[in-house]
Amino acid sequence: MNEADVKNETGSKEPELDVEERFLISDLCDLISQYMDQEQVKEVYNAYLFGAQAHEGQHRVSGEPYIYHPIAVARILAQMHMDVKSIVASILHDVLEDTPATRKLIEREFGKDVAHLVDGVSKLTHIKFKNKIEQQAENIQKVLLAMAKDIRVIMIKLADRLHNMRTLGALKPEKRRRIAQETLDIYIPIANRLGIFTIRHELENLVFKAMHPIRYRVLEHAVNKASGHRKELIDKINQALGSRLVEMSIDAKIVSRKKHLFSVYNKMRDKRLPFSKILDVYALRVLTDSVDDSYRVLGIVHNLFKPIPGRFKDYIAIPKSNGYQSLHTALYGPHGIPMEVQIRTDEMDKFAESGIAAHWLYKSPDEKGAVAAHARARDWLTGILEMQQSAGDSLEFLENVKVDLFHDEVYVYTPDGDIMKLPRNATPVDFAYAVHTDIGNRCVAAKLDHSFAPLNTPLYSGQTVEIVTSPGSRPNAAWLNYVVTAKARSNIRNYLKNMQADEAMSQGRRLLERCLKPLGMRLDDVKQKNLQKVLKEYGFDDVSGLLEDVGLGNRPPSLVVRRLVPERVSDGESEETREMQSQAALAISGTEGLVVSYGRCCYPIPGDQIVAKLSKGRGIVVHREGCKNLEASNKRKKSDNYIDVQWADDASGEFSCEIKLEIENKSGLLARTATVISDCGADIENVYMEDKDGFSMNLLYLIKVSDRKHLATLMRRLRRITTVMRIARM
């Protein structure tokens, strides 16, 4: 959803906005003067004059002058003590989009930095898109790439989105829900990834209110009603803990924290609990002077109250990816009621609330956390740029970003003992790509805690992961079924695309040369003027595009040859045409790659009589002769979409094949048959069992074999099992 829907839509006037929402320029100047000099305050005021003139006559849906919105956005950033360029850009953030002002004018008046920030936040309004989804993806991609160059872009965008969410009431319900959904999908995860919890929590509550207004009111009432009793428990723990801290001479501050409504709602929904069972609505936070004191307080808390097993988390030793640090523990408080306690230093608390904004908010040399938070954000943004370079389009890029934003974490060790953070359910392939792209591309096996494990094994915290690589290996398309990190997914897709393009060009040349051979020609013998004419006709810049198109099965090679050498081949049943169609069969070796696939309807293997069909986008699909999905033989001869093929003498690889066993229903039969298949050197891809009459059953195995001889050997071994009554290839 575009902010333009919040801004310029005509509609009924809402009730008068409160003082906080109608924030004036004088109030903004007073606020920024607390940390800026007078020259900077003057620069902000000049930006206001420029913006007010540019937006003259424009109103929001609520009826207020439009300039109130940029001032409110600037106020949010001023509360984070953002720099003067950010404040100026936030006041001007909509002038490129909604007024005649140009980037050159902004650059002349306020400098290159401000012009870059304003341009980065502005949406692509002058480009026509196929649909809303593509438009959203392109706009978000533009913001994220601008953010990667200057992180202040996303700070302005988050503040802009926060104020729009605060003022959603003027819009129609369906538009409120659409904006709220986009906020939930994109902006809340970004705020979380950058560690800006103040903005994240407020956005979550506003999204909850917009998407489920009735649930929001009911839950808000329930929390307020229950607050009295819960606060009594908090006060008792507070008093007991405070007294013990004084005894131990630890200087610490204890504050109570109320869980925000969106978190309460998610917990009720995810765990299917009534509100009465949610016992951590209120919690305690203990703020200390040092890390040592934090761990000492943890010991005191566990001595006072019994800890709940499995609920302790140490984010100080191993911070979250957004820089968050704290000790979390859950306790059985008075009357056995569970309570949550968070323990961290004052500095950690500042960064927990401000995240990346702490880079501007706290600038003293002692505030190392801000520098660390900024470095972590930079690492993430570098990953964003890598994703963009390997993504095919804006929709794929947005999908990768969403994958990267939504995750819980596991912590694993490299063989050298370094800790690596990965999303939950990450696999060794994700780990390999996290180490380095080349490691991922050449990955062939993995060791978990020094034992070999499949590449699709989910990783768990504490494991040591070692990747085995091979110079000749390459990414497997099957990896896309289980990798979870955006970096792994985008790199695999990018590699496969390039690999498929290369293989398709090679296959296309092979198919064209095969059609030209009966005419005594090669592709290099085709007249240049004919080639250029065909390229222009088909819309290709060079011959590689044509070869790839033929190799992918989008154009029958015989038709292309007729266009390339019209003087030698006519469209009728000439001698040359018949000779071209009855040429020697194309040899299939099993190593052609992505442009040759094998029909899963009939599972051809070396030794079978085979036929190939051109399939758009897939290249050649090989079937067994007699497959029910093929046309009759006489029709195939008249079609340009079929190619005569045969297995090469040196055909190699593993090919899927399906066999059916009718077997007596006795215990251990599955294990016994599977053992025989394994001993014969065949891999089992899938197995399906169906009961027949209580005395016998059918076992359907999908296995991988090298050829018909291998399959025959395996089937003979299976027939020797006394309980096997019949066996057949499907």
Question: pLDDT tens digit string along 284-305?
Answer: 889 998 889 989 988 888 888 8
Nearest to 703 by CA among 713, 692, 693, 690: 713
- Whether the per-residue pLDDT at 707 is higher than 90: the answer is no
450/141 Cα distance (integer angstroms): 41
| Mean pLDDT in residue range 343-369 | 62
**Structure tokens given for 389:** 């370079």
- Whether the per-residue pLDDT at 611 is higher than 80: the answer is yes
Q: In angstroms, what CA-CA distances link 582 with 471, 579, 644?
A: 41, 5, 8
- Whether the per-residue pLDDT at 440 is higher than 80: the answer is yes
pLDDT score at 629: 78
pLDDT score at 365: 37
- Whether the per-residue pLDDT at 280 is higher than 70: the answer is no
Work out the percent of the chain whose per-residue pLDDT is above 90. 5
The whole model's pTM is what? 0.53
pLDDT score at 88: 92
Quick one: pLDDT band at residue 42, thresholds 50, 70, 90?
very high
Quick one: pLDDT band at residue 206, thresholds 50, 70, 90?
very high
- For residue range 51-82, what is the model confidence (pLDDT) as tens digits? 889 888 888 888 888 899 999 999 998 888 88
Nearest to 46 by CA among 111, 116, 109: 109
| Mean pLDDT in residue range 659-671 | 82
- For residue range 73-121, what is the model confidence (pLDDT) as tens digits? 999 988 888 889 989 999 998 888 888 888 889 989 999 888 888 887 7
Average pLDDT score, the chain: 76
**Structural domains for the chain:** 4-211 (1.10.3210.10), 226-362 (3.30.460.10), 493-647 (no CATH), 655-729 (3.30.70.260)
Report whether 655 contacts 598 (CB < 8 A): yes
pLDDT score at 140: 57
| Mean pLDDT in residue range 621-638 | 76
In this structure, the strands spanning 655-664 and 696-705 are antiparallel
**N- to C-terminal Cα distance for the chain?**
52
Nearest to 80 by CA among 379, 452, 370: 370
| Mean pLDDT in residue range 190-214 | 85
Lowest-pLDDT range, 355-364, 423-432, 440-449, 705-714?
Answer: 355-364
- Whether the per-residue pLDDT at 11 is higher than 60: the answer is no
Q: Which contacts (CB < 8 Å, 24+ apart) does range 454-460 have?
A: 455/427, 455/428, 455/429, 455/479, 456/427, 456/429, 456/481, 456/482, 457/427, 457/428, 458/425, 458/426, 458/427, 459/410, 459/412, 459/422, 459/426, 459/427, 459/428, 459/430, 459/431, 460/410, 460/412
- For residue range 106-161, what is the model confidence (pLDDT) as tens digits? 989 999 888 888 887 775 333 343 445 555 555 555 555 555 566 788 888 889 99
Among all residues, which ones are annotated catalytic? Answer: 97-98
| Mean pLDDT in residue range 325-341 | 81
- Whether the per-residue pLDDT at 724 is higher than 60: the answer is yes
More confident residue, 723 or 6: 723
| Mean pLDDT in residue range 548-565 | 75
